Amino acid sequence: MVLWLTGLSGAGKSTIAQAVHALAKPRMPGLVLIDGDVIRALFGAGLGYKEADRYQQIGRIQRLAGMLSGQDIRVIVAALYCHPDLMAWNRANLPGYFEVYVDAPLNLVRQRDVKGLYARALAGETSDVVGVDIPWHAPQAPDLIIDTANETPAQSARRLMQAVPWLAELVSTGGRNDG
Ligand code: ADP
């Protein structure tokens, strides 16, 4: 089973993925979080941020997610770069694939600027920023869109869990449980 979160830098992928992982892990020991930034830190030597490098970075994550899910591990992926070909590969090859577009308008992610990336791009100090000088290919057929502009991370995490079949059972519906 693979849950794949895509979205611009600063949209909220890591925040939501970490929250879902923290909530689910105690009752789902075989759950692994694959964060794109972590994979870069582990294996990214020689990999830059140009579109071709980003494509390769996603390829690594896809193969890793495929290998783990083939061993009955449930996988949450938080990864930025999105391309129709890559998402089509995911859908065709990753078992129990569920795709989430973590959406926030560009002006909001620029304002959040979690990594200072957009400010550096604006100042001409960096390039190869998706949504600035690399086109953002928003996912065309996600299973769920989460608009992080209008809710808290906790709300987003809960909504996501309710929508994913293998996570839904872990969140209460908020209904009565007193019989
Ligand atoms: P990404 O992993 O997509 O680059 P991050 O998760 O690192 O983004 O950063 C998202 C930022 O937006 C965090 O500072 C987070 O607190 C904030 N934020 C505000 N609302 C939400 C929400 N509903 N879901 C996720 N993050 C949110």
pLDDT in tens, 58-107: 999 999 999 999 999 999 999 999 999 999 999 999 999 999 999 999 99
Question: In this predicted structure, what is the pLDDT of residue 44?
Answer: 84
Q: Is 38 in the pocket of ligand 1 (CB under 6 A)?
A: no
Ligand 1: distance of its center to the CA of 179 in Å? 38
Determine if ligand 1 sits within 6 Å of the CB of residue 114.
yes
Q: What is the C-alpha end-to-end distance of the chain, expressed in Å?
A: 33
Residue 78, classed as helix, strand or coil, is strand
Place of tokens 């600027």: 113
pLDDT of residue 171: 87
User: What is the residue extent of each domain of the chain?
Assistant: 2-106+136-171
Q: Whole-model pTM? A: 0.95
| CATH number listed for the domain at residues 2-106+136-171 | 3.40.50.300
**Residue from 21, 39, 109, 114 to probe ligand 1 pocket by mutation (most atoms less than 8 Å from CB):** 114
In short, whether 148's Cβ falls inside 6 Å of ligand 1 is yes
